[in-house]
């Protein structure tokens, strides 16, 4: 998508990309107040960027993880000291195995991360030439990124059919293009609707504790010229009861085979409220987010993050200075559960690049 830079120009960016051995990404920790490109020189740098949320969102994490595997392959080729065959350097193989495990530990809930790592690793298997193995890794990682962008564009085209002119849509967290390589999932139908000439209005949950809605979703919508309001997380129910919300669209970090959906904490609450108020609740996600090996949402690992994300909050002062301030008493502890699971029966439909499915039929999206 295009980004409006401080000098007034517009430039198209993907969320994450690789050039030579470096992985580049938009540093989402600084948005919306500062736009910066972060360079990760090694696979461990990329892993750290995933862990500390410099990059976040299912598809973006997946693409970054695939690129991290490429970096590990390039590093391993250096370890081989010019030897051309894998059988001549067991250190090479050991480096790849350790890197694979390290990358997979970065964010335990995001299915796209595991999907990308496994695909790149599989692409490296079955060959003995280190140069070819590395080339195959890079080719596969680039394919994953391109497929993510194409899938999200298609999600927008299909989801647009669900949106009527004048609709007021609620979304939670950030499932825009920053959360994927491009276009996004939950916001992609909204972008497509605007492009089709429809008038749409978006309520963006602030999404505590990391404020992805207030910081990232609002920044995207502002850039795209879409009218919106950022709302506290606990306002949505009142707006639904007042008849001011027509549809809910959220993203997902993992979808179980039975249609249960894991997404940012607070999503389940919105789904229950939508059901109570007879408002359709949709999930938008590429098929790479579906985990066919996970039978139900009860089996999805739920990440618990550092309590300081709840106890402290970051922002900028009126003078533009970035600061972090504590919002809890110094001795109070916090519980920081990062995701929750919405049961399939609360989901009106799941929008994928292959079609819109009833949640309980989502496994057919992979056929």
27 contacts 54 by C-beta, under 8 angstroms: yes
Residue 238, domain member (yes or no): yes
Tally the domains of the chain.
Answer: 2
Boundary of a domain, candidates 128, 151, 174: 151
Of 263, 243, 234, the C-alpha closest to 346 is 263
**Judgement on whether residues 137 and 167 belong to the same structural domain of the protein:** no
Could you say which of 116, 151, 186 is where a domain stops? 151
Q: What is the DSSP string of 86-127?
A: GGG-HHHHHHHHHHHHHHHTS-SS-HHHHHHHHHHHHHHTT-
Tokens of 40: 């990760």
Kindly report the three-state secondary structure assignment for every residue of 204-255: EECCCCCCHHHHHHHHHHHHHCCCEEEECCCCHHHHHHCCCCCEEEECCCEE
138 and 170, same domain (yes or no)? no
Give the CATH number, domain containing residue 30.
1.20.120.420
- Do 55 and 10 share a structural domain? yes
Query: From the CB of residue 323, how many other CB atoms can be counted at a distance below 10 Å?
Result: 9
Query: Is the domain of 104 the same as that of 248?
Result: no
Cis peptide, bond prior to residue 209, ω within 30 of zero: yes
pLDDT attached to residue 81: 58
pLDDT at 315 (0 to 100): 93
Distance CA 90, CA 156 (A): 46
Considering the domain architecture, whether residues 142 and 238 belong to the same structural domain is answered as: no
User: Are residues 286 and 222 both part of a single domain?
Assistant: yes
Tell me how far the alpha carbon of residue 225 is from its chain's centroid. 22
Same domain, 15 and 98: yes
Q: What is the CA radius of gyration of the chain?
A: 21
Predicted confidence pLDDT, tens digits, the chain (367 residues): 878 777 778 889 999 999 999 999 999 999 999 999 999 999 999 999 999 999 999 999 999 999 999 999 888 777 655 544 444 445 677 888 899 999 999 999 989 999 999 999 999 887 777 788 889 999 999 999 999 999 999 999 999 999 999 999 999 999 999 999 999 999 999 999 999 999 999 999 999 999 999 999 999 999 999 999 999 999 999 999 999 999 999 999 999 999 999 999 999 999 999 999 999 999 999 999 999 999 999 999 999 999 999 999 999 999 989 999 999 999 999 999 999 999 999 999 999 999 999 999 999 999 8
For residues 220 and 267, membership in a common domain is answered with yes
Claim to verify: residue 83 and residue 9 sit in the same structural domain: yes
Whether residue 156 lies inside any domain: the answer is no
Same domain, 206 and 334: yes
Q: Note whether 171 and 98 are same-domain residues.
A: no
Structural domain boundaries, residue 81: 2-151
229, 248 in Cβ contact below 8 A?
no
Last residue of a domain, one of 151, 178, 211: 151
Q: How far is CA 315 from CA 83, 137, 214, 311, in A?
A: 50, 39, 11, 14
User: Does some domain include residue 219?
Assistant: yes
Q: Do 315 and 168 have their domain in common? A: yes
Please report which residue ranges of the chain form alpha helices under DSSP H. 43-51, 58-79, 90-104, 111-124, 130-160, 188-195, 212, 218-224, 236-241, 267-276, 308-311
Distances (CA, A) of 190 to 183, 184, 279, 304, 357: 10, 10, 17, 31, 19
Distance spanning both ends of the chain, measured CA to CA: 30
The pLDDT tens digits of the residues spanning 139-173 come to: 999 999 999 999 999 999 999 999 999 999 999 99
Helix (H, G, I), strand (E, B) or coil at 361: helix
Backbone angles phi, psi at 57, to 5 degrees: 100, 140
* Confidence at residue 129, expressed as pLDDT on a 0 to 100 scale: 75
Domain CATH for 170 = 3.40.50.10470
Just list the catalytic residues: 253
Residue 300: both structure tokens together: 């999805």
Residue 309 tokens read as 């994300």
């Amino acid at each position: 998508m295009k980004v409006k830079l401080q000098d007034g120009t517009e430039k198209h960016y993907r969320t994450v990309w690789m050039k030579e051995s470096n992985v580049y990404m938009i540093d989402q920790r600084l948005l919306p107040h500062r736009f910066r490109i972060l360079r990760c020189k090694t696979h461990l740098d990329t892993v750290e960027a995933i862990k500390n949320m410099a990059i976040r969102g299912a598809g973006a994490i997946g693409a970054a993880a695939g690129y991290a595997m490429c970096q590990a392959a390039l590093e391993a080729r250096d370890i081989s000291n010019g030897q051309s065959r894998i059988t001549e350097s067991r250190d090479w193989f050991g480096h790849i195995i350790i890197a694979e495990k390290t990358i997979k530990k970065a964010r335990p809930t995001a299915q796209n991360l595991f999907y990308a790592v496994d695909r790149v690793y599989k692409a490296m298997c079955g060959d003995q030439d280190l140069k070819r193995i590395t080339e195959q890794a890079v080719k596969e990682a680039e394919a994953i990124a391109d497929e993510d962008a194409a899938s999200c564009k298609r999600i927008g085209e299909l989801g647009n059919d669900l949106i009527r002119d004048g609709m007021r849509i609620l979304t939670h967290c950030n499932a825009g293009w920053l959360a994927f390589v491009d276009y996004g999932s939950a916001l992609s139908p909204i972008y497509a609707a605007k492009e089709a000439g429809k008038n749409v209005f978006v309520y963006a949950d602030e999404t505590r504790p990391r404020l992805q809605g207030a910081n990232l979703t609002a920044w995207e919508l502002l850039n795209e010229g879409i009218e919106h309001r950022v709302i506290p997380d606990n306002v949505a129910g009142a707006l639904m009861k007042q008849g001011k919300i027509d549809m809910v669209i959220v993203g997902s970090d993992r979808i179980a085979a039975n249609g249960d959906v894991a997404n940012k904490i607070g999503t389940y609450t919105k789904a229950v409220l939508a059901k109570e108020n007879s408002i359709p609740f949709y999930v938008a996600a590429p098929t790479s987010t579906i985990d066919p090996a996970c039978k139900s949402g009860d089996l999805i690992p739920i990440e618990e993050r550092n309590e300081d994300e709840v106890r402290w909050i970051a922002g900028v002062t009126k003078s533009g200075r970035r600061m972090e301030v504590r919002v809890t008493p110094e001795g109070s502890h916090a519980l920081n559960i990062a995701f929750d699971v919405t049961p399939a029966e609360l989901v009106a439909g799941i929008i994928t690049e292959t079609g819109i499915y009833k949640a309980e039929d989502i496994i057919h999206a992979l056929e």
